[in-house]
Structure 1
Amino acid sequence: MISRIACSYSHARRRRRVATSAAVLLLLLVSTTATGQEPSARRFRAGAATSNITPPLGELIVGGWSPTPATHIHDELFARCLVLDDGQSRIAMVLVDNVGVLRNVLDHAKRLASTRSGLPAERILVASTHTHSASTARGTNPYDETAPLDDYQTFLAGRIADGIQRAVNNLAPAQIGWGYDFPRTAE
């Protein structure tokens, strides 16, 4: 049973990696075609960074029927940032370890990142892992996106922007590649 679960998990991870690689390649292909430049005339660069977004102890851990306050930290939470630059345009992709982040928090993070890095807000994509083992950034009233940001939401937006700026600072010549492997099974 355990090996079957591990194989399913491994297979799902592989599918996500292949889908992500395909999306990035498609983006680069469209970008190259749209500019009319030869791919060799430009230099592809990538930069990555992580920002620790672990909330303080006492924040509610959501995902069950009755959220409970965190009393210890088993694993820290991160915003994982990737910036891609093909010499003509630059994009940022961020994956946040969180069950859900409101649009106004993401908009604030994008504004901060744009101000700090010069990257246009419309070229920043932020997604959430939707983990049920962490805090939420939905605030006290998740249905009111006009409410002022609480302390954790403000912290999270700042850390996302920090990660994007560090990823920009880490831009270096890069190549894209992909592969796959088949899990080894016991015989």
Structure 2
Amino acid sequence: MARDLGAHLVTVIEPYGCPIESEVAADAFAHVCDSAVGEDLRIQLEFMPFSGIADLRSAWDIVRQAGRPNGGLVLDAWHYFRSDHDHELLKSLAPNAIFSVQLSDGPILPESDLWLAAAQNRRLPGAGDFDLMTMLALVHDGQPGATVGPEVVSTDLTALDPRQAAQLAVDTTAAVLAAAHYSA
């Protein structure tokens, strides 16, 4: 299906909160990566604080153990700041370990229901309290191949005209990237 859609990047998640041993997850991730080689696809693993792969360290352990050149990470800002947001780990990742960055923002204090907040209450980049500047600086310095774009899952945005919502996401993302002196 990815080939038919012209995709070059596929995201893998564990959305149910099922505990999983890193060795088992690494074997499964390696299998997905291996099956994608003939399709010229890169596979990126996304962690989520309410999932069985809850933080950057867990996701990186899986990707590192899998050891596939077409396997990497997606760094979702909302998930990063709602997990341990380990800047030292982010800084130490192998170059180009992160394939893409998804930008959104949120309040400094976490919501009581993380799943609901992730699915409905994200804020536009720059409209919250996340330290996006530090995160982007670390990505820019160590992950030069990462693509960056908005992922703002929000009932406020879905209430708008789709063109207006898209333009807001583009404008706020561009403003945050400019403020961070982030260039591709």
TM above 0.5, yes or no, is no
Which has the larger share of helix? 2
- Looking at both structures, which has the greater relative contact order when contacts are Cα pairs under 8 Å and sequence separation is at least 6? 1
TM-score (normalizing by structure 1): 0.24
Bigger Rg over Cα: 1
Which has the larger share of strand? 1
